[in-house]
Each structure stands twice: as structure tokens, then as C-alpha cells.
Amino acid sequence: MYAIYKGDDLIATGTKQECAEALNVKQSTIEFWATPSNVKRDKGKRTVAVRLDGDS
């Protein structure tokens, strides 16, 4: 399960596939948004994914 944020706004939750379909992006984009390097770059405006548990 993932939670997708754009800044402080929660824009999607669900599995990688559900989030990708809801946001019209590839699953690999969701994976990138969840990487530590992408999360570190966040200055409040970047889209980031937070993995909620061990399942994708």
C-alpha cells in the first residue's frame, strides 16, 4: 500500500497499481516517487510516495 502526496496534500492511496491508474502514470513512477533520493529532494512541492507496509 502506498500514500501519494503532492506537497502536504494526500492525492491517492492504494496499491502501486491502483495509485498508478488513479494518477495516470506508470507503476515505475510510483516506485521512483517512493525512493529515498526522491523523498530527500522534497522541498514541499514534489510528489512523493510513502510505502505504508511491506506489500506493494
- pLDDT one-digit tens code per residue, 27-56: 999 999 999 998 888 787 889 999 998 654
> What's the pLDDT score for residue 23?
97
Element (H, E) at 36: helix 36-41
Cell readout for 5 is 502526496
| Nearest alpha carbon to residue 51 among 14, 20, 9, 8 | 14
pTM above 0.75, yes or no: yes
Beta pairing partners, 49: 4
The predicted model gives 17-22 an average pLDDT of 97
The whole-angstrom separation of Cα 40 and Cα 13 is 21
Locate the domains of the chain by residue range.
2-51
> What's the pLDDT score for residue 43?
80
Distance from the Cα of residue 40 to its chain's centroid: 13
> What's the pLDDT score for residue 17?
97
Distance from the Cα of residue 4 to its chain's centroid: 4
> What's the pLDDT score for residue 45?
83
